[in-house]
Amino acid sequence: MTTSRPAVLPTRTRSPRWRRRLAPPLVAGAIVLAPAGVFAQGSAPAAEALFEQGRRDMARGEYDLACQEFRDSDQLDPGVGAKLNLANCEERRGRLATAWELFTRVEAELDPTDERRALARERRQDLEPRVPRLILVLAKDAPSGTVAELDGAELGASGFGVPLPVDPGAHRLIVSAPNRSDRTVEVALRVGQRMTVAVSPGQATAAPTSEGLPVVPEVTETPVVGRPRRQHTAKRGYAIGSVGAAGLVLGSVAGLVVLDKKRTAEKHCDSETRTCDQAGVDANRVGPRWAVASTIGFAVGAAGLGIGTYLVLTSDSAARTKTVLAAGGGPAGGYVTVDWQF
């Protein structure tokens, strides 16, 4: 019987002296493994056991089990024989790109005089036109920094525009970029197919706040000119007063942080040499930011409480003929005083 390719595959031994045997008549060009017991001296017993079990499962057509056993065997005791058997197993279960990559690795590892190198090269060349290729390109709206993840493996900028060998079947792409939501794309390729996919991330997300500076609430309400209804004015007063109270709390917390950073700077900086260690440098850098936040917090708090108190008190202005408000604040806290005459 003649076949179109060598009908043999080496055992796990790493020696170039391996015997070629005829393929069984069941499958033309199938790979026949040499008998057990020809493993190299010192190979791991567990690797040998896995390799032999892989041979038995391969003969029964249980390719999923056999491939995993060959892979585990090669991890325990790397050898060309295990890789070639794994490549053949992956081809049998349809993972053409995986098999092609394994044959390519074996060809690169072997010496040019090794007979197995010609076998690996022939199998790689046979698989080459059958391996699907996926080409990812950036869509026109894709921002800089866009990256893609193909079946869990992240691709950098160099991965775009390159025909990537993939196994036939379905594949998942996750496209992401800074300040953009992720976009998932499902693609499916047939044997020998080349597919080009333009990718871009999802919608824009909210930009992060400035480092170290909390978000300070803003007072958007303004006093109503004239005398609105009592209930409506009182509700506005309570709402604006709540914002003011939050501002004072924020200003107080920021003020405490400022005092702490000041103490840290004094402890870790030498006023005579005007030098600081890293803790002092960090305190001097962060402290002014919190001081700004404290000032803003007290300003918003004083204004909010002042306006809110005024609206609440004037909602029953028939009983009050004169109302005087005063507000202030600092790193130690804020205050509002109300004085009215009946």
Q: For 14-32, write each residue's pLDDT tens digit.
A: 333 333 322 232 232 334 3
DSSP-based three-state secondary structure for 326: strand
DSSP character at residue 224: P
Q: Beta strand 194-199 with 133-138: parallel, antiparallel or unpaired?
A: parallel
For residues 166 and 187, is the Cβ–Cβ distance under 8 A?
no
Give the rounded distance of the alpha carbon of 185 from its chain centre.
16
Question: Residue 319 burial by CB count (10 A; 0-12/13-18/19+): exposed, middle or buried?
Answer: exposed
**d(Cα 308, Cα 131) in Å, to the nearest integer?**
72
Distance separating alpha carbons of residues 189 and 95, to the nearest angstrom: 12
Residue partners of 25: CB distance under 8 A and separation at least 6: 1
Measure the CA–CA gap between 192 and 177, rounded to whole angstroms. Answer: 31
Amino acid 14: pLDDT: 39
Give the pLDDT of the chain (342 residues) as one tens digit per residue. 333 333 335 545 433 333 332 223 223 233 434 333 444 444 578 999 999 999 999 999 999 999 999 999 999 999 898 999 999 999 999 999 999 999 999 999 999 999 999 999 999 999 999 999 999 999 999 998 899 999 989 887 788 999 999 999 999 999 999 999 999 999 999 999 999 999 999 999 876 555 555 555 554 544 445 554 445 566 776 777 677 677 677 767 777 877 887 887 777 777 777 777 777 677 677 778 777 777 886 777 687 667 767 666 666 544 444 545 455 555 555 555 555 454
